[in-house]
Structure 1
Amino acid sequence: MPRPPRADRATRVTIAEVAARAGVSLSTVSRALNGNPTVDPVLAERVKDAAAALDYTASPVARSLVLGRTQTVAVIVPDLGNPTFQAILRGLSHAAGADDYHVLVADSAESVEEERVLAGATRRRTDGVILCAPRLPQDELDRLVGGLRPVVLINRSSGDVPSVRADYGTALAAELGHLHELGHRRIVFLAGAPGSVANAARLEAIAGFVAAHADTVVTEIACGVDFEAGADAGAAVLASGATAALAFNDLVAMGLLSAVQASGCRVPQDLSIVGFDDIPFAQYTTPPLTTAAVPAAELGAQAWARMRELLEGDEPGGPLTVLPELTVRGTTGPAA
């Protein structure tokens, strides 16, 4: 039978027309098109044939009402300006899109209060929350997640909540080991935000390394998480007498690199610099930046995989930890 002309917006085919053509009830059409296994396979096939013949497309709003879902999940990150979080979002949104889900992104702007408010606000409008909240104190995070379920955590953990994370401590220890092998014994660490869990992991790794290497001194310099913070720390780094600088992330390292080179410091001859994350720009600095490569897109994809399992009522995968890989480039060399 020839297919009727495609309906325009004014004459959109309705579910009632599909039901009439298939000779079934409206509820049977709804259940069949939404994959409900209680529908007799013969009837389900008849409904699908009728829908195809009429060129029927379900309204997204109607589908959401039937399923009791928005087909949307919220993702909260601390800084959309950071390419690492952009990569996490890219991996997550591509994976979610393949499962016909949309991603609502919220930026907490490195604020504990915003993390707290956004988590609750976005959960009320979505089917679940994927939370990257590096500032929230652990006890508050533990209380918060109970009201957000289904929830998945990135770079945090809380009870039985599914989580994916990068092992910042082990990777930073590898960076320190690299500098130590090059002869560096006076190192400065440009610290991130004081309340950050990621910063705490770095400080713990530094303490462990120094305890095992009595010949090495690592001095902490309060800094931040962006280009400007790294550039502003340039004078303090040069005045410290250190032969190497370990930055909280690549953005800080790049800001520092620009500032010290503008002051006449040669990198790596006078000062070695190490970043963290391996954002796309890291390999294009002059010289290219030594860093630790975090598989950010994979973290995002794995976070979605666990959220999908929660939404489908399956047992989510266990906690996933990935190890960033030391990537040696041109900003590190033998100690002067």
Structure 2
Amino acid sequence: MARRPAVVTIADVAARAGVSLSTVSRALNGNPTVDPTLAERVRAAATELNYTANPWARSLVSGRTQTIAVVVPDLANPTFQTILRGLGRAAAADDFHVLVSDSAESVDAERTLATTTRRRTDGVILCAPRMPQPDLDALSATLTPLVLVNRTSPDVASVRADYGAALRAQLDDLHRLGHRRILHLSGAPGSASGAQRAEALDAFAAAHPEVDLRRLPCGVDADAGAAAADAVLDSGATAALAFNDLVAVGLLDAVRRRGCRVPDDLSIVGFDDIPFARFTTPALTTAAVPAEELGRAAWVRMRALLSGEAPPPSLTLVPETVVRATTGPPPS
């Protein structure tokens, strides 16, 4: 039977380089206190021996796991997937891993996941947490380091999209097209972006008393949009603004099955600009959330915190309206 090749250890590297074990450890971990000539000798010895550091042993020595936790409310949502892609790629470039947990829109699960994953990782990123603001503030005080995506809390690094400004732009576009009966399909009750949108709806209604602006409670997925089709058609609205693209896609399919012509009879507007929004029939008008950029920006702030540095200022990005084929003038 062939003999299994011997495992190269840190002691072998130390012997080859003629230095102590601690010097090897510090050199391979990039410790700046190691003389550059010694560090190069250690790296050369490690390369010659094909030495790879045991990540678990390294974490015991450094006190780091090289992993951060991210808690999202709905992993099936393409926008959260895109945020994770931007975050994950940026973290990987810095030799970090990402542990993702789905709270399934549950505030209790969100709180539990945030605290339990922090014990096994170097930091936590909460993506669009659903918990009320007082609960978020209390939790934030117990989690360090912490970065928030699409929420804010005092003294916590954050990045977010301005959903209110984007919705107001969508409303203004519909108003310019001539729509005076507009329906908004609201989403998750605990969503902070929902609160921003509610403020935008109130401001628009106050500025345009001639518009019949109504709100219809709805969910966050395509099934919820499809289920709302009859209520939307019965409302007499000439334009419907969906909480997100998933809701808009479900609504679009359901009203077309009922013989409604989009946009001739009803204009439909989504939100997020998920990848298949441009492939619907007709192609969906929406607002493009810079999700991948939000993910990258969240990592930049987490990396600074892990390095003991002050994170960059909180970042706010405004989604841009993407006009496609589901919007037009109201029926005469």
**TM-score, normalization by structure 2:** 0.97
The letter of the residue matching 1:194 is P
For 2:193, which of 173, 190, 198 is the aligned residue? 198
**CA deviation map 1:114-145 (0-9, x unaligned):** 11111001101100001014311111101101
Separation in 2 of the partners of 1:289 and 1:9? Answer: 59
Which of residues 135, 153, 164 is equivalent to 1:169?
Answer: 164
Secondary structure class of the residue paired with 2:275: coil
Question: Which residue in the other structure is 1:245 paired with?
Answer: 240
Cross-structure match for 1:136: 131
Helix, strand or coil at the partner of 1:11: coil
SS class of match (2:88): helix
Q: Which residue of 2 aligns with 1:258?
A: 253
The equivalent of 1:17 in structure 2 is 12
Structure 2 Cα separation of the partners of residues 153 and 119 of structure 1: 12
Query: 1:9 offset after TM fit, Å?
Result: 6.9
Q: What's the counterpart of residue 95 of structure 2?
A: 100
Alpha-carbon distance between aligned partners in 2 of 1:10 and 1:256, rounded to the nearest angstrom:
62
Distance in 1 separating the partners of 2:93 and 2:219? 36
CA distance in 2, matches of 1:287, 1:280: 15
Alpha carbons 1:72, 1:126 under 8 Å: kept: yes
Does residue 189 of the first structure (1) align with residue 172 of the second (2)?
A: no
State yes or no: 1:160 paired with 2:155. Answer: yes
Does residue 277 in structure 1 map to residue 272 in structure 2?
yes
Q: Aligned match of 2:210 in 206, 212, 215?
A: 215
- Kindly state the Cα deviation for residue 10 of structure 1 after the two structures are TM-superposed: 4.5
52, 67, 87: which is aligned to 1:57?
Answer: 52
Following superposition of structure 1 onto structure 2, how do residues 15-164 of structure 1 map, counting pairs within 5 Å? 15-164=10-159
Code of the residue aligned with 1:210 in structure 2: it is: A
What percent identity do the matched residue pairs reach? 69
Q: Which amino acid aligns with 1:120?
A: T
Q: How many residues align?
A: 329
The residue identity in structure 1 corresponding to 2:309 is D
Paired residues of 1:115 and 1:133 also in contact (CA < 8 A): no
What letter matches 2:42 in structure 1? V
Q: Which of structure 1's runs of 4+ aligned residues deviate more than 6 A?
A: none
Q: Which sections of structure 2, spanning at least 5 residues, go unmatched?
A: none
Change (3 A) 1:61 1:314: same
Q: Distance in 2 between matches of 1:134 and 1:175?
A: 25
Alpha-carbon distance in structure 1 between the residues aligned to 2:214 and 2:63: 54
Tell me the distance in 2 between the aligned counterparts of 1:324 and 1:17: 55
Question: What SS does structure 2 have at the residue aligned with 1:46?
Answer: helix
The superposition leaves residues 243-276 of structure 1 with CA deviations (integer Å, 9 ceiling, x where unpaired) of: 0001000000111101111110100000000010
> What is residue 4 of structure 1 aligned with on the other side?
none
Question: 1:72 Cα deviation (Å)?
Answer: 0.4
Shift in Å at residue 192 of structure 1?
0.5
Q: Which amino acid aligns with 2:221?
A: D
RMSD: 1.1
TM-score (norm 1): 0.96
